[in-house]
């Protein structure tokens, strides 16, 4: 007897991360269809970006006005917070300080303030006295900082688990441990080792694999993912440094990364994570050691990085130097001391958390993509570059994807 089962759904979503789950939720909520299947290659959800991030619900400050990120971050955060409240899940509404590490970065505060206000974020410039009140250990190189009251911290795994449960209760099928072996694009079905699944519309939210799957649909062939690894440390329990708000350095606005930051946890336990760094990853899932190393892809990605490094476009060389140094604890502490002068090497310890960003590279224009990218193919929609703040924005982003893709056809 064959165990190969035939299934038919209106929507098949590849990827059960925060974005895939949110899309299923919005398709249901909006009454578009109840026939939805989420397919994930892993035995459990949350093993990639959505379960390995900082858990910060961003408040819409960094993003270029009119970008998709700017459009979805603030309302996405509000909607997710309401859902979290409804589910009675932990959330730490601890706000965020953005502090210049050196005098030359001070002018970036004005740019961030301008962007934040244009995006509708609640942001204010504060002085030394107010910085001290919010975080006595922090120090700004110029005495100025940005305060974002509505930045919060959540436990991403916890949110995913509850969202998964809610969707299953509402009738969404979630098939785990299912790698797709065959895509029949024009016949509109995919096959795994157990199932042949026919669909009306396929949505690709597969994170680090999103570009590769999109290429099968002849979509975004010029785009590929260069994975960037982020490792974390944490403050030791015995450390005398106590931090109860998010503490971010001023980021390099030419790069799509926010810099190593201090993040208190969602349940007010006093734990503080420090990270993530942003260094070249030898594979899209190379979290530890040699596991997940991809030689051929890494060679191509390394060549791209080397080209950017030597052309030094957008100050890339300086950025790479600084970032690679931050993986060395002593040098990371040297950097951290610029915003927390009293921190020492023995205040921190390695954390188990490691994340990998699905950073998209545009090989036609030789640049990293900064914004979310959503493209349509034959009866399919492909979300690529679902980097930060896609977790924060996911409910609103899902609605935007629905409005701009299959419904508008
Ligand atoms: C270190 C780090 C820190 C971050 N911090 C924040 C933050 O503080 N706030 C914030 O808003 N965002 C943050 N982000 C970004 C955020 O985590 C992502 O934007 C978000 O999780 C993307 O969700 P996703 O569903 O698109 O991807 P993922 O969570 O990666 O989910 C993709 C899913 O697809 C599955 N999959 C992949 N390929 C296949 C396939 N072929 N077949 C079937 N399934 C497949 C995977 O198993 C995975 O479950 C951070 C990211 C990183 C890496």
Domains of the chain: 5-408 (3.50.50.60)
- As a whole number of angstroms, the distance between CA 11 and CA 375 comes to 16
Q: Is 53 in the pocket of ligand 1 (CB under 6 A)?
A: yes
Angstrom CA distances, 402 to 25, 32, 237, 303, 309, stand at 11, 10, 45, 36, 38
Paired strand residues for 381: 203, 376
Q: Is 152 in the pocket of ligand 1 (CB under 6 A)?
A: no
CB 336 within 8 A of CB 273: no
DSSP line for 270-322: S-EEEE---EE-SSTT--STTTT--HHHHHHHHHHHHHHHHHTGGGHHHHHHH
The DSSP element (H or E) to which 49 belongs, if any, is none
Q: Is 40 in the pocket of ligand 1 (CB under 6 A)?
A: yes
Exposed / middle / buried, residue 311 (Cβ in 10 Å: 0-12, 13-18, 19+): exposed
Angstrom CA distances, 278 to 139, 141, 290, 350, stand at 24, 23, 18, 16
Tokens representing residue 336 in the block: 């951290």
Tokens representing residue 23 in the block: 């899309």
Ligand 1 centroid to residue 17 C-alpha, Å = 6
pLDDT (tens, 9 = 90+) of the chain, 409 residues, equals 455 789 999 999 999 999 999 999 999 999 999 999 999 999 999 999 999 999 999 999 999 999 999 999 999 999 999 999 999 999 999 999 999 999 999 999 999 999 999 999 999 999 999 999 999 999 999 999 999 999 999 999 999 999 999 999 999 999 999 999 999 999 999 999 999 999 999 999 999 999 999 999 999 999 999 999 999 999 999 999 999 999 999 988 877 778 889 999 999 888 999 989 888 889 999 998 888 999 888 888 888 887 887 777 667 777 666 666 667 888 888 888 999 999 999 999 999 999 999 999 999 999 999 999 999 999 999 999 999 999 999 999 999 999 988 654 4
Q: Is 343 in the pocket of ligand 1 (CB under 6 A)?
A: no
Beta strands at 152-154 and 56-57: parallel, antiparallel or unpaired:
antiparallel
Q: Is 210 in the pocket of ligand 1 (CB under 6 A)?
A: no
């Amino acid at each position: 007897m064959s165990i190969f089962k035939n299934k038919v759904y209106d929507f098949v979503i590849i990827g059960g991360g925060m974005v895939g789950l949110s899309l299923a939720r919005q398709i249901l909520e909006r009454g578009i269809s109840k026939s939805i299947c989420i397919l994930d290659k892993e035995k459990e959800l949350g093993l990639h970006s959505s379960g390995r991030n900082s858990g910060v619900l961003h408040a819409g400050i960094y993003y270029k006005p009119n970008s998709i990120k700017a459009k979805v971050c603030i309302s996405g955060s509000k909607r997710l917070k309401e859902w979290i409240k409804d589910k009675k899940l932990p959330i730490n509404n601890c706000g965020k300080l953005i502090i210049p590490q050196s005098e030359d970065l001070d002018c970036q505060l004005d740019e961030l303030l301008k962007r934040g206000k244009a995006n509708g974020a609640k942001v204010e410039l504060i002085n030394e006295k107010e910085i001290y009140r919010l975080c006595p250990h922090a120090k700004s190189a110029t005495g100025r900082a940005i305060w974002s009251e509505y930045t919060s911290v959540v436990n991403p795994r916890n949110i995913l688990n509850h969202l998964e449960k809610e969707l299953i209760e509402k009738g969404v099928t979630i098939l785990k441990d299912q790698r797709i072996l065959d895509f029949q694009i024009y016949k509109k079905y995919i096959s795994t080792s157990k199932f042949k699944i026919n669909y009306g519309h396929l949505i690709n939210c597969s994170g680090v694999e999103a570009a590769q799957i999109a290429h099968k649909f002849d979509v975004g062939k010029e785009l590929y993912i260069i994975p960037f690894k982020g490792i974390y440390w944490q403050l030791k329990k015995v450390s005398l440094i106590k931090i109860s708000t998010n503490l971010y350095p001023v980021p390099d606005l030419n790069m799509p990364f926010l810099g190593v930051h201090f993040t208190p946890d969602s349940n007010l336990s006093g734990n503080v994570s420090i990270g993530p760094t942003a260094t070249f990853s030898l594979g899209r899932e190379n979290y530890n050691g040699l596991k997940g190393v991809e030689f051929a892809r890494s060679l191509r990605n390394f060549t791209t990085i080397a080209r950017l490094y030597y052309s030094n476009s957008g100050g890339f060389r300086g950025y790479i130097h600084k970032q690679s140094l931050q993986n060395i604890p002593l040098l990371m502490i040297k950097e951290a001391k610029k915003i927390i002068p009293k921190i020492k090497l023995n205040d921190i310890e390695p954390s188990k958390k490691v994340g990998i960003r699905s950073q998209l590279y545009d090989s036609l224009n030789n640049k990293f993509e900064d914004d979310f990218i959503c493209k349509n193919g034959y009866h399919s929609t492909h979300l690529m570059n679902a980097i930060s703040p896609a977790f924060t924005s996911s409910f609103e982003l899902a609605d935007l994807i629905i409005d701009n893709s299959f419904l508008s056809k």
